[in-house]
């Protein structure tokens, strides 16, 4: 009896310690960079509802799919998309090997820093720039080129590293969802192979969980062994109505949570939030000119118009960068 009572005391003590630890953990704010408010509450309430076993809104872990747009939702997209800056930089870096570009549009305008001239070259011009800078090399070589570039690339307006202009509050949402057994994906209009080299270290989202636009590829066996060549032909545009298709193609499940910031995310939000389960749709609204950029309906990049109009009726929550976020970038 003496021995049993000691065991009981020790066991009771251990249990008490465990309970205290659990309580402390539960009280730790999973979203410390968010101000208290409707947006933060919507996230916390949604996660509580779909993870409450036995609750009417419970969703099994396998079906907890969350999708995030990248440009403007996870990192800054102003004054130009980071991938466009990459393409322009590549044209400049590659120019010595292409003397003919001096007299050939759209390269002539790129080299002259004439963005209006680039814009005037239209879709055809952009396609030529993409083909020249994103194709004609192996997937491994392209990965190295992207990694080298992103390590030092700076935002032309802020002078900050592009990969430092990621949103701390969104990193917290990603971690919070993952901690609650969500499978978290990027679903971006950007190039899938442009994102994959750095999304894992930057956001904690690994290559298999990245969905994006793509060019065609071809398997080839060379003198140096097998390679996958990147071809100068568009394969898939993961934007607008392409996003639900990209989601179905890559994930094969309908998300229950989607985060975007522009009209290019409209259909992803619509497809997600009209599903049969409890769902969450959120839009990052860039209304913070002081700490980031302020733009919406009239922006040439990340235009938010139709989706903002649809938000109230669709039940999509707007996230005000100005009011909902204590902090924008991790290094502030």
Contacts with a copy of itself by CB under 8 A lie at 3, 6-7, 10, 62, 139, 183, 192-193, 196, 200, 206-210, 214, 217-219, 221, 225-226, 228, 241-245, 248-253, 267, 270-271, 274
Whose Cβ is closer to a copy of itself: residue 233's or residue 332's?
A: 233
The Cβ-side half-sphere exposure at 251, using a 13 Å CA radius, reads 27
Number of Cβ within 10 Å of residue 130's Cβ equals 19
Q: Which residues, at least 6 apart from 108, have a Cβ–Cβ distance to it below 8 Å? A: 101, 102, 117
Q: How far apart are CA 12 and CA 14, in angstroms?
A: 5
With CA atoms as reference, report the closest residue to 146 among 95, 190, 98, 102. 190
In the complex, the smallest distance separating the C-beta of residue 310 from a copy of itself, rounded to whole angstroms, is 12
Residues in the chain: 332
Run of H or E residues at 253: none
In the complex, the smallest distance separating the C-beta of residue 234 from a copy of itself, rounded to whole angstroms, is 13
The Cβ-side half-sphere exposure at 228, using a 13 Å CA radius, reads 8
In the complex, the smallest distance separating the C-beta of residue 58 from a copy of itself, rounded to whole angstroms, is 18
In the complex, the smallest distance separating the C-beta of residue 136 from a copy of itself, rounded to whole angstroms, is 16
Whose Cβ is closer to a copy of itself: residue 15's or residue 206's?
A: 206
| Sign of the Cα pseudo-torsion (330, 199, 172, 18, in order) | negative
Q: Which residues, at least 6 apart from 268, have a Cβ–Cβ distance to it below 8 Å? A: 67, 69, 187, 243, 244, 247, 255, 258, 260
In the complex, the smallest distance separating the C-beta of residue 256 from a copy of itself, rounded to whole angstroms, is 14
- The tokens for 101 are 């570009």
In the complex, the smallest distance separating the C-beta of residue 148 from a copy of itself, rounded to whole angstroms, is 18
Whose Cβ is closer to a copy of itself: residue 238's or residue 292's?
A: 238
In the complex, the smallest distance separating the C-beta of residue 47 from a copy of itself, rounded to whole angstroms, is 20
Whose Cβ is closer to a copy of itself: residue 41's or residue 139's?
A: 139
Whose Cβ is closer to a copy of itself: residue 171's or residue 245's?
A: 245
| Sign of the Cα pseudo-torsion (40, 46, 49, 52, in order) | negative
Number of Cβ within 10 Å of residue 115's Cβ equals 14
Whose Cβ is closer to a copy of itself: residue 19's or residue 274's?
A: 274
Q: Which residues, at least 6 apart from 61, have a Cβ–Cβ distance to it below 8 Å? A: 181, 182
Run of H or E residues at 160: none
In DSSP terms, 231 is beta-bridged to none
In the complex, the smallest distance separating the C-beta of residue 232 from a copy of itself, rounded to whole angstroms, is 15
Whose Cβ is closer to a copy of itself: residue 30's or residue 246's?
A: 246
Whose Cβ is closer to a copy of itself: residue 251's or residue 294's?
A: 251
Q: Angle at CA 258, nearest 5°, toward 255 and 259?
A: 160
């Amino acid at each position: 009896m003496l021995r049993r009572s000691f065991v009981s005391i020790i066991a009771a003590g251990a249990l008490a310690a465990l309970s205290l630890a659990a309580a402390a953990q539960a009280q730790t704010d999973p979203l410390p960079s968010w101000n208290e408010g409707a947006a933060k509450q919507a996230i916390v309430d949604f996660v509580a509802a779909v993870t409450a076993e036995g609750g009417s809104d419970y969703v099994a872990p396998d079906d907890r799919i969350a999708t995030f747009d990248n440009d403007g939702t996870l990192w800054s997209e102003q004054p130009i998309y980071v991938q466009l800056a990459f393409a322009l930089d590549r044209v400049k870096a590659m120019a010595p090997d292409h003397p003919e570009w001096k007299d050939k549009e759209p390269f002539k305008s790129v080299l002259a820093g004439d963005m209006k001239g680039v814009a005037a070259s239209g879709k055809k011009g952009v396609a030529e720039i993409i083909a020249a800078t994103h194709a004609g090399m192996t997937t491994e070589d392209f990965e190295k080129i992207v990694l080298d570039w992103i390590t030092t690339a700076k935002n032309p307006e802020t002078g900050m590293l592009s990969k430092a202009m990621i949103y701390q509050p969104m990193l917290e949402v990603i971690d919070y969802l993952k901690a609650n057994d969500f499978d978290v994906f990027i679903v971006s209009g950007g190039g899938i192979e442009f994102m994959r080299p750095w999304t894992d270290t930057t956001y904690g989202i690994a290559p298999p969980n990245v969905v994006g636009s793509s060019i065609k590829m071809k398997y080839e066996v060379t003198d140096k062994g097998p390679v996958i060549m990147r071809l100068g032909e568009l394969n898939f545009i993961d934007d607008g109505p392409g996003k639900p298709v990209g989601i179905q193609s890559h994930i094969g499940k309908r998300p229950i949570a989607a985060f975007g910031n522009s009209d290019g995310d409209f259909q992803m939000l619509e497809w997600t939030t009209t599903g049969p389960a409890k769902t969450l749709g959120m839009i990052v609204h860039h209304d913070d000119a002081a700490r980031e950029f302020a733009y919406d309906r009239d922006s040439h990049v990340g235009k938010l118009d139709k989706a903002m109009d649809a938000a109230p009726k669709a039940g999509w929550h707007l996230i005000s960068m100005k009011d909902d976020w204590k902090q924008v970038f991790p290094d502030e």
